[in-house]
Amino acid sequence: MTPPLRVQAAESVAVDPIGMLQIGGDPLRDVLGAIPRPIWVALVVGLVGLVVALVLGTLTTRLLVRLGVPDAIEGTAFERTARDFDTSTVEVLGSLVRVFVLAITVLLVFSVANVSVAFSFWTRAVQFLPQLFLALVILIVGVVVGDKVDLLINERLTGVKVPQIGVFPRIAKFTVFFVAVLVALSQLGVATLALVVLLGAYLFALVLLFTFAFSDMLKSGAAGSYLLLDQPYVIGDEVEIGGKRGVVQEVNLFVTHIENDGEEFIVPNRAVFEDGVVRIRD
């Protein structure tokens, strides 16, 4: 609410001296009066723009801090790089907002002050500026989110002691980067058709891989969710699934553990739907 009020106040202050100038007659006022009215307005607009830029930048930083963004992105590469330059991601975003508002102010000042230098160029610049700003923000967010995804998946996989496992977090990270770059570029109006095609092919391959490689897992998971929700048999029941007979020891999403005299069968849950279950009552 404050910025518009400030504009009004500033304008009234600006009008007053001009009014006084017309009455007064001493040399100083003459000099001041020689400056044309648009210049004054431009000056005020510039000042207001400066204040708004500073306030908005600080507000953005504070808002992001309040939302817990610094904690959420702790340890990502972007944040660490920012730290190396004695700043932080939220500070960078705040500065970006400041620069954006300042740039708009400068253009506004030019147009108010009737500076007609390369006018068409500036109008196009004004139209382009928000897109550039958005593209930059998308890029930063993409990089930070990608890093965060990498960290999260890495944390998840720490228990799995396979050296090659490191490839999965990186794939996820670069996928996010790629999508962010794509969105940012299309925001700028750069031709991205080839990249979109590439993304499509990549996603198609991924989906294909999943459906083929993990179809059994998916089937078992679907059957398992039924078993967990409906519980046709529970731990302690004696059952026979696909020729494996014994006491149920454990039911989870993908498999059922059935134990029988020192033999423990780990049966995939899809067998429940493929072969059916025999519950043994005696």
Rounded to whole angstroms, the Cα distance separating 282 from 269 reads: 24
Q: Which of positions 120-139 make contact with other proteins (CB under 8 A)?
A: none
**Number of helices (H) and strands (E), helices first, in the chain?**
11, 5
# chain residues binding other proteins, by CB under 8 A: 13
Q: What is the dihedral of CA 79, 81, 87, 90, to 10 degrees?
A: -30
Nearer to other proteins, 46 or 224 (CB): 224
User: Which residues have a Cβ under 8 Å from the Cβ of 277 and sit 6 or more positions away?
Assistant: 232, 233, 239, 240, 241
Is residue 250 within 8 A of residue 211, CB to CB? The reply is no
Q: Which of positions 218-277 make contact with other proteins (CB under 8 A)?
A: 228, 231, 234-236, 238, 247-250, 252, 257, 259
In the complex, least distance from residue 253 CB atom to other proteins, rounded to whole angstroms: 10
Nearer to other proteins, 195 or 255 (CB): 255
Rounded to whole angstroms, the Cα distance separating 205 from 11 reads: 62
Is residue 217 within 8 A of residue 253, CB to CB? The reply is no
Nearer to other proteins, 55 or 247 (CB): 247
In the complex, least distance from residue 248 CB atom to other proteins, rounded to whole angstroms: 5
Nearer to other proteins, 19 or 262 (CB): 262
Is residue 254 within 8 A of residue 260, CB to CB? The reply is no
Q: What share of the chain is helix, strand, coil (3-state, %, to 5)?
A: 75, 10, 20
In the complex, least distance from residue 228 CB atom to other proteins, rounded to whole angstroms: 6
User: Which residues have a Cβ under 8 Å from the Cβ of 32 and sit 6 or more positions away?
Assistant: 17, 21
- Measured over the CA atoms of residue 27, residue 28, residue 30 and residue 34, the dihedral's sign is positive
Nearer to other proteins, 123 or 260 (CB): 260
In the complex, least distance from residue 247 CB atom to other proteins, rounded to whole angstroms: 4
CA proximity to 255, closest of 278, 227, 213: 227
In the complex, least distance from residue 270 CB atom to other proteins, rounded to whole angstroms: 20
In the complex, least distance from residue 129 CB atom to other proteins, rounded to whole angstroms: 49
Nearer to other proteins, 27 or 163 (CB): 163
What are the Cα distances from residue 30, in Å, to 18, 19, 21, 82, 282? 11, 12, 7, 51, 113
In the complex, least distance from residue 220 CB atom to other proteins, rounded to whole angstroms: 16
Nearer to other proteins, 240 or 259 (CB): 259
Positions that interact with other proteins (CB under 8 A) = 228, 231, 234-236, 238, 247-250, 252, 257, 259
